Amino acid sequence: MVAEANGRAEFRGALIGAGFFACNHMQAWRDLAPEGARIVGVCDLDAGRAQAMAEEFGAQAFTDPAEMLDAIRPDFVDIATTPPSHRALVELCAPRVGLVICQKPIADTLEDARAMVAACEASGAAFLIHENFRWQRPFMRMLDLLPSIGTPRFGRFSFRHGWDVYAGQPYLATAPRLAIMDIGVHLFDLARLFLGDAVAVTCETQKRNPRVAGEDAFTALTRHAGGGVCMTDASFHTTLRPEPFPQTLAVLEGDEGTLELREDYRLLIHDAQGRREEDVEPEVPAWGEKPWHVVQDSVRNFERHVLGVLRGEAAPQPSGADNLKTLALCLAAYDSAEQGRRVQP
């Protein structure tokens, strides 16, 4: 239940999933403790992993999520597990908490994703997807500058690198669907954020690394409801020096100007005032490190937004309902690549 701390509401949360990325979640939540959010329970099927994380962050450890929910009665739940477990966990949590966060991608199928949205709607729980690219400092700044370039007509979001993502997340190497569901979901969310809903997609996929089961590169062209077009491309098998991971490069052209996000977090602004450049690199969190800092900072930005939703000060971004459209676009991209044609999501 909501408690009081230092004269203000304190929201008590629980984390489900203590794996590779969950440490970023927990570090960011700890940063936000003075602002009114605190994780009091950690659950993982691996008892040792749950106990280690709980001890580090001053929480209780559990291996059964239902038992944890009954024991600590949290105000919100942060689900940081892989997609096959999402539906069951969201349906378990929705009737018991006021807000549910689910790691991206929301699900592997639209059927599961719609069921999760319906479960939260039926119980009145707010439902957010942990989609953190839109909360990276460079893209938050580009969104601020959007009025200066007019209506967006063309965009490109590119994420290409050779970083060994399989070392920390070995399950990625065995995933039958990889690049689109792991990174494409982020890039499509950005495309929708800046250019509006997509009405058609054409996509090509590649499997370049013999070590992996799924596609590790893709290129997609989307047309958006407002008439804009966008290219999104990603590769986990690109050699660049210096290694750009985990930076996303971007171009956004409007009727009155252009925004260019280049390497080293250089944002070029071309508008009626001429050309100027801004440094949009985020600071490294006290607990963070380069090159992960852009991601770590975005997790904290997202979680601060969640706190605003809990207080009734903000609407979820992105909500589960909105994220259904991003998942539909990902699945349409696979259909396009497999069928060799343009597909409507």
Domain boundaries, the chain: 3-130, 134-285+320-339
Once rounded to an integer, what is the mean pLDDT over residues 249-276? 97
Residues of the chain with pLDDT > 70, as a percent, come to 98
| CA torsion through residues 301, 307, 311, 312, sign | positive
Q: Domain 134-285+320-339: which topology?
A: Dihydrodipicolinate Reductase; domain 2 (3.30.360)
Strands (E), 122-211: 126-130, 152-160, 198-206
- Cβ atoms within 10 A of the Cβ of 2, count? 12
Task: Give the number of C-alpha atoms closer than 13 A to the C-alpha of residue 200, restricted to the C-beta side.
Answer: 9
Residues of the chain with pLDDT > 90, as a percent, come to 96
Once rounded to an integer, what is the mean pLDDT over residues 17-42? 97
Q: Which among 251, 242, 250 is positioned nearest to 163, based on CA atoms?
A: 242
The reported pTM is 0.96
* 80, 130 Cβ separation under 8 angstroms: yes
Residue 252 pLDDT exceeds 70: yes
For the record, the structure tokens of 235 come out as 């590769």
Residue 3, pLDDT score? 58
Residues 256 and 135: their CA atoms lie apart, in Å, by: 25
- 200-229 pLDDT, tens digit each: 999 999 999 999 999 999 999 999 999 999
Residue 2 pLDDT exceeds 60: no
* 2, 10 Cβ separation under 8 angstroms: yes
The residue written with tokens 């580090």 in the block is 56
Q: How far is CA 149 from the centre of its chain?
A: 26
> Do 3-130 and 134-285+320-339 share a fold?
no
Once rounded to an integer, what is the mean pLDDT over residues 15-23? 96
Residue 195 pLDDT exceeds 80: yes
Inter-axis angle of helices 137-149 and 293-310, nearest 10: 70
Q: Which of 108-117, 164-173, 191-200, 277-286 has the lowest mean pLDDT?
A: 164-173
* DSSP code at position 172: G
CB-based contacts of 321, cutoff 8 Å, min separation 6: 117, 121, 127
Q: Which CATH code, of 3.40.50.970, 3.40.50.300, 3.40.50.720, 3.30.565.10, is assigned to 3-130?
A: 3.40.50.720
Residue 8 pLDDT exceeds 70: no
The torsion region of residue 264 among left (phi > 0), alpha (psi -120 to 50) and beta comes to left
Residues 225 and 192: their CA atoms lie apart, in Å, by: 10
